[in-house]
């Protein structure tokens, strides 16, 4: 479903991605782990072109999205993104946050979009918060709204950029629970995370990145119990 070939990204002199190649199948859940500064987030942001790759090719469903002629907005409609800091729209209520893009981008009627937004809020357990503003939500609730907001566009895949890193520990579980449901429902997901428990339990494949490259990849068992590379082992020994 996603095919990435020799992806490079540099910011000025700084080489952040030094040649990433990977195929991701439909319904696959891929967790990306690695030390900070290893390029995990940049890799993820390249997939929906929030960062423009410096070179290399990315295909989503055989469509070359790194093509200059492509309509970037169309690509982004298909790839939902969840951010570390939620980035909810503070001047919109919860339900407006979820319904806005379907109304404006997909041209759904307000009633239809809000009905679907309601269903999504129910799915993430927040139907009673439909009419409050984000400032009245806890971190975990904000992130669940952010997931509902991304799902409202009916994306083909979901990208998660450290979705639980900004949360108080007691709220991590509720967000991971929603993500787990999503994975079980067959959503294609790429998750940059520091939650090794989640990666071990939910991921089909784990990528270990360091210094702009995929050092090692495999099933959670391969990575967490049988890592072949010294760098992987030393990283895991620090975080596990």
**CB-CB contact of 159 with 82 (8 Å):** yes
Q: Which residues bind other proteins (CB under 8 A)?
A: 48, 50, 73-74, 76-77, 79-81, 83, 85, 87-93, 100-101, 104-105, 133-135, 146, 149-150, 153
Give the Cα separation of 43 and 49 in Å (integer). 10
Nearer to other proteins, 75 or 213 (CB): 75
Give the Cα separation of 64 and 58 in Å (integer). 6
Q: Token digits for 204?
A: 């089909």
Nearer to other proteins, 146 or 227 (CB): 146
The minimum distance between CB 83 and other proteins, in angstroms, equals 6
Give the Cα separation of 128 and 130 in Å (integer). 6
End-to-end, the C-alpha distance of the chain in Å comes to 31
Nearer to other proteins, 18 or 156 (CB): 156
Nearer to other proteins, 15 or 93 (CB): 93
In 183-238, DSSP assigns E strands to 188-192, 205-210, 213-218
The minimum distance between CB 112 and other proteins, in angstroms, equals 17
Spacing of C-alpha 105 from chain mean position: 20
Task: Tell me the sheet residues that pair with 191.
Answer: 31, 160
Q: Token digits for 142?
A: 């904000």
Nearer to other proteins, 16 or 79 (CB): 79
Tell the residue number behind the tokens 């939902």, with chain if given: 80
The minimum distance between CB 215 and other proteins, in angstroms, equals 28
Nearer to other proteins, 28 or 77 (CB): 77
**CB-CB contact of 163 with 104 (8 Å):** no
The minimum distance between CB 135 and other proteins, in angstroms, equals 4
The minimum distance between CB 9 and other proteins, in angstroms, equals 16
**CB-CB contact of 90 with 133 (8 Å):** yes
Nearer to other proteins, 39 or 139 (CB): 139
The minimum distance between CB 150 and other proteins, in angstroms, equals 7
The minimum distance between CB 172 and other proteins, in angstroms, equals 20
In 14-100, DSSP assigns E strands to 14-24, 29-33, 55-60, 63-64, 79-82
């Amino acid at each position: 479903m996603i095919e990435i070939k020799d992806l490079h990204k540099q910011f000025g002199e700084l080489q952040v991605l030094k040649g990433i190649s990977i195929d991701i199948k439909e319904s696959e859940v891929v967790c990306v782990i690695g030390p900070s500064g290893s390029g995990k987030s940049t890799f993820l942001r390249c997939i929906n072109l929030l960062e423009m790759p410096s070179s290399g090719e990315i295909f989503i469903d055989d469509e070359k999205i790194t093509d200059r002629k492509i309509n970037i907005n169309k690509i982004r409609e298909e790839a939902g993104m969840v951010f570390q800091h939620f980035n909810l729209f503070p001047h919109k209520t919860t339900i407006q946050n979820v319904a806005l893009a379907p109304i404006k981008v997909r041209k759904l009627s307000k009633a239809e979009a809000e009905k679907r937004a309601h269903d999504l809020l129910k799915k993430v357990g927040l139907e009673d918060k439909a009419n409050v503003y984000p400032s009245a939500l806890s971190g975990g609730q904000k992130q669940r709204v952010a997931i509902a907001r991304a799902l409202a566009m009916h994306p083909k895949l979901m990208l998660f950029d450290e979705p639980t890193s900004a949360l108080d520990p007691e709220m991590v579980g509720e967000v991971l629970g929603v993500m787990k449901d999503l994975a079980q429902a067959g959503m294609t997901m790429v998750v940059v995370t520091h939650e090794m428990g989640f990666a071990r339990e939910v991921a089909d494949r784990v990528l270990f990145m360091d210094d702009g490259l995929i050092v090692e990849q495999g099933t959670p068992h391969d990575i967490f119990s049988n890592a072949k590379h010294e760098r992987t082992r030393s990283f895991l020994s620090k975080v596990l």
